[in-house]
Amino acid sequence: MELIRHFMILLSLLGVLFAHQFEAQSADASRSTARSLDALLQDYAYRAFVQPRSGVPYDGTAPSNLTGIKTAALRLRSGSLKKRGVDEYKEFGIPDGVVVRPYVERLVLVYQDLGNWSSFYYPHPPGYAYLTPVLGLLAYDAANLSATNLPELDIVALKSPISINFTYVIPAPRGAIARCVRFGVDGSLDFRDLVSSNICSTYRQGHFVIVVNSSEIAPSPAPAPSRAPGPGPSRVGSKSNKSKVWKIVGGVVGGVVALIFLALLVYLMHQHKHNKKVARMEQHADAGVSVHTTRVGNTHVPVALGTRTQPMLENELVA
């Protein structure tokens, strides 16, 4: 049994490793597409500015291949942002005490509502479903309104947090606890409690969404009947082709790996049984008054094999 236990530990370790690598890869891929969307929307939001007035939001137009995404831009003096904040900028409420780093004289706050593209650009954290679209708020330098590929500035709320008042939240199932998630520009992921049923808060810029544990949404195998009518979670959470492809690739790789391990397990169990038999034979031989050397001679080979089994196992696993 010792051998099998060791093997199981190894197997689960490898499983974790594979899952981790796979997850990291797809997370990296989706992060870079999300970053290129930020750059694209910065460009499109800035185009909404024609002789812009400070402190007035201008709605941008998303490119036609991204119908469903909304964007807007608001230009401000950073002094005004710090002193007065912005009461209401779409779903965002910005209090006073928000500073910009590095300092610029004027900045633009770009707003994003990713609508039905939310889970395309921001795949659900594993085990969670979205109850709202993903909303973004990012700060850029306003020095040149025709500039593209601008780096984000950093904004930090020093006094009270920025609030995000989601206009529509899919009701969480009874007993399920909804949470706020923030995707940082740097790829970080923070969970926070809701301020109220539809309001999240944050001290930084980024992308925001309300989530719920997905196992509480779809109770096991029954093909959730609540999905058909109304705006079920599946509508906001429509899967992208890309993540489907990744899933298939992951499935195939996972299947092959599982098959290899199954074969190995069968082999090892067989080997183990054999070793046990040999050990028993050996015991008999030791108990027996060291006669019948001719018959004991048989055990010579298996005894050596018993001690060599482990190195063999490692080689197989590395291969």
Residues that bind ligand NAG (CB under 6 A): 40, 63, 65-68, 93, 116-117, 120, 127, 144, 146-148, 165, 167, 199, 213, 215-216, 238
Closer CB to ligand NAG, 179 or 268, in the complex: 179
Q: How far is the CB of 42 from ligand NAG (least distance, A)?
A: 12
Closer CB to ligand NAG, 116 or 271, in the complex: 116
Closer CB to ligand NAG, 227 or 272, in the complex: 227
Angle at 309 between CA 304 and CA 310, to 5 degrees: 130
Q: How far is the CB of 1 from ligand NAG (least distance, A)?
A: 29
Closer CB to ligand NAG, 117 or 246, in the complex: 117
Considering all CA atoms of the chain, what is the largest pairwise distance in Å, rounded to the nearest integer? 106
Which residue of the chain is nearest ligand NAG when measured via CB?
A: 127
Q: How far is the CB of 207 from ligand NAG (least distance, A)?
A: 16
Q: How far is the CB of 318 from ligand NAG (least distance, A)?
A: 33
Q: How far is the CB of 107 from ligand NAG (least distance, A)?
A: 16
Closer CB to ligand NAG, 220 or 294, in the complex: 220
